[in-house]
Amino acid sequence: MTVLPITIWGEPVLHRRASEVETFDDELRTLIADMFETNEAANGVGLAAPQVGVGKRIFVFKYANDDDAPDEGVVVNPVLTLSKVSGALPDPDEHVEGCLSFPGEHYPLQRADWARVQGFDGHGKPLDFVATGWFARVIQHEYDHLDGKLYVNRLVDRYARKAMKQAKKNGWGVPGLTWMPGVDPDPFGH
């Protein structure tokens, strides 16, 4: 298994819809293993293939949950069904997210509290489970990556302005920027 570099906001693969996985083979399973290894090295709760420069509809997660779902897994070609997202402003203490592709930053975002996840594992076996609470947030965050969105694209104006100001300050928004988990300092200080 290999730890892969994580792309940073501005890399084109992060900003376009990922393509469906058509072949469940050893190459796919190697990518999935590398994604698990990378997520672990980055102290992440989830990682989508576009975050490692691969425009495929795959994400991995590692999040202890009370749902009838695994604490660690992969979803290939996912489909989500969500509960309604509250129209209330996000709580800056309770609804804060971060992203390995927008490293070191945190902003509040309102998400659905419930998500049904359907898709496939790395062998093409169907998956179907429900995620609630923070686990639902993790799933939605990773799924957004597959549609070319980062959580900062969903922020309310006040936080969106702060995020874009920080991106500019960090020199992000251009292709070719990455960071290497386990080599570069952990941007979230784990």
Active site amino acids = 142
Cross-strand pairs, 120: 76, 126
Residue 13 dihedral angles phi and psi, to the nearest 5°: -60, -25
Ligand-binding site membership of 145 (annotated): yes
Query: What three-state secondary structure class fits 19?
Result: strand
Cross-strand pairs, 56: 19
| Closest to 74 (Cα-Cα) out of 122, 117, 34, 24 | 122
Ligand-binding site membership of 141 (annotated): yes
Cα dist. 32→55, 74, 175, 184, 189 in Å? 13, 7, 24, 22, 25
CA–CA distance, 102 with 80 (Å, rounded to integer): 23
Ligand-binding site membership of 95 (annotated): no
Which residues line the annotated binding site for Fe cation?
99, 141, 145
Which residues line the annotated binding site?
99, 141, 145
